[in-house]
Amino acid sequence: MPEVILQARDLVKHYPIRRGILRTVQGHVKAVDGVNFDLHKGETLGVVGESGCGKSTLGRLLVRLEAPTSGTVEFEGADMANASGKELRALRRNIQIVFQDPYTSLNPRMTVGDIIGEPFEIHPEVVPKGGRRKRVQELLDLVGLNPEHINRYPHQFSGGQRQRIGIARGIALDPKVLICDEPVSALDVSVQAQVVNLMEKLQNELGLAYVFIAHDLSVVRHISDRVSVMYLGKMAELGHEEEVYERPTHPYTQALLSAVPVPDPTLRGKRQHIVLQGDVPSPANPPSGCRFHTRCWKAREKCKTDVPELILRPDGVGEHFSACHFAEPQVIVPTTDVSDVEPDERFAEVDHRDPATIAEAEGTLQDADGLRPETTTEAQANLFAPIQDDEGHPGRVPDERRDV
């Protein structure tokens, strides 16, 4: 296994709740409450969980947009969470963030060149002054945008293109870690696939490590090497993608996975659907012991008193990290990883390109959206590759692109 590049230890973020005339602290919202993980060089760690579980706060802690209440974030041994001034500034070069909403993440008054060039002005030592414009154009090319659009403003781009600009800004300083805070959640499904493919391409070319925060389980499975599941500010389960998806041992993960739509119509109705009772408890007053015990069908007395540690627990085949006293694997849905499977021959003659691409190839349509044609075709081809499973079920509609 490659070396550990980013290490979070007992990361805690509590937001004070102030009430009354004197604004006294009445309690804390425990957004992130003791998170531990290692991120290895060049890997992708997916973070999933429902709204309000602390995923985004975790991301913001990792790039030090928020100062943690306690705990450390070590980047190659240097503590980022407690650094300040020059030291922090230097560390920031190594770890960058891509935001969810491409419509608010770009300054509307700056040209694309200024937006992507800003990192070089903040860290002038990275690229000498004369070479910056050229470097910005290289970055635009790298993320699949027309380098000649350097003088355009963000409002002249579509959502997917704007997200590419956000990614270009994120990788401008050549960071080693990129935190992706729901980078595709605001995009429509076909564009999601393009952006995810771009991120995989960049990872291969630049050796980036990703922390990929999302709530879409299939997107996370597609891109991640390891996956962690968060519930109420704590990690419930952490393991390799197939360990978490195929042999989940934590009841919350099992419930979460059972909610994913199944693309295979022959399997519909045959699987177990776990419906949880009640709502997520308030993070200001989380349950004692195991945080999930209020909704868990396995809960016993022990769960109410003892906090389960996130330790290696057997999952039937091997073992992976799980925070449940009664961890046992349960197959939720039979899954097949089709990432490396060749498309079925019966469908080889179908033209997978979309009408715009075909028209483009025939020269009837101008390259109006600024995407390089090969990128579109590439993305399109990749988009369809993983969605046909080896039994010949052609999930041709991107909506059905679920790996679970």
Q: Which is nearer to other proteins, 266 or 366 (CB)?
A: 366
End-to-end alpha carbon distance in the chain: 26
Beta carbon of residue 78, minimum distance to other proteins (angstroms, whole number) = 14
Q: Which is nearer to other proteins, 65 or 312 (CB)?
A: 65
Q: Which is nearer to other proteins, 152 or 240 (CB)?
A: 152
Selected binder of other proteins within 30, 55, 92, 320 (CB under 8 A): 92
Beta carbon of residue 121, minimum distance to other proteins (angstroms, whole number) = 8
Question: How far is the C-alpha of 171 from the C-alpha of 356, rounded, in Å?
Answer: 30
Selected binder of other proteins within 44, 56, 69, 96 (CB under 8 A): 96
Long-range contacts at 134-143 (CB < 8 A, ≥ 24 apart): 135/172, 136/112, 136/172, 139/168, 139/171, 139/172, 140/112, 140/116, 140/165, 140/168, 142/168, 142/171, 142/202, 142/205, 143/167, 143/168, 143/171, 143/198, 143/202
> Cβ atoms within 10 A of the Cβ of 1, count?
7
Selected binder of other proteins within 17, 122, 267, 341 (CB under 8 A): 122
Q: Which is nearer to other proteins, 84 or 277 (CB)?
A: 84
Beta carbon of residue 125, minimum distance to other proteins (angstroms, whole number) = 12
Exposed/middle/buried for residue 139 (C-beta within 10 Å: 0-12, 13-18, 19+)? buried
DSSP 8-state symbol, 243 = H
Residue type, 165: I
In the range 52-91, which residues lie near other proteins by CB under 8 A? 60, 63-65, 88-89
Piece in contact with other proteins (CB under 8 A), picked from 36-44, 165-173, 202-210, 371-379? 165-173
Exposed/middle/buried for residue 215 (C-beta within 10 Å: 0-12, 13-18, 19+)? middle
Q: Which is nearer to other proteins, 111 or 336 (CB)?
A: 111
Q: Per rule CB under 8 A, is residue 100 in the interface with other proteins?
A: yes
Selected binder of other proteins within 40, 41, 135, 152 (CB under 8 A): 152
Count of residues of this chain found to bind other proteins when the rule CB under 8 A is applied? 38
Question: How far is the C-alpha of 180 from the C-alpha of 239, rounded, in Å?
Answer: 19
Q: Per rule CB under 8 A, is residue 135 in the interface with other proteins?
A: no
Beta carbon of residue 388, minimum distance to other proteins (angstroms, whole number) = 36
Piece in contact with other proteins (CB under 8 A), picked from 43-51, 104-112, 348-356, 374-382? 104-112
Selected binder of other proteins within 105, 203, 218, 258 (CB under 8 A): 105
Question: How far is the C-alpha of 198 from the C-alpha of 318, rounded, in Å?
Answer: 33
**Residue 344 in tokens:** 């079925």
Question: How far is the C-alpha of 213 from the C-alpha of 179, rounded, in Å?
Answer: 8
Q: Per rule CB under 8 A, is residue 253 in the interface with other proteins?
A: no
Secondary structure class of 286 (helix, strand, coil): coil
Q: Per rule CB under 8 A, is residue 372 in the interface with other proteins?
A: no
Piece in contact with other proteins (CB under 8 A), picked from 99-107, 291-299, 316-324, 396-404? 99-107
Selected binder of other proteins within 166, 289, 308, 329 (CB under 8 A): 166
Question: How far is the C-alpha of 26 from the C-alpha of 14, rounded, in Å?
Answer: 12
**Residue 376 in tokens:** 């579109």
Q: Rg for the chain (alpha carbons), in Å?
A: 22
Q: Per rule CB under 8 A, is residue 24 in the interface with other proteins?
A: no
Selected binder of other proteins within 84, 109, 130, 351 (CB under 8 A): 109
Q: Name the site residues for other proteins (rule: CB under 8 A).
A: 60, 63-65, 88-89, 92-93, 96-97, 99-101, 104-111, 115, 118-119, 121-123, 148-149, 151-153, 155-156, 166, 169, 173, 370
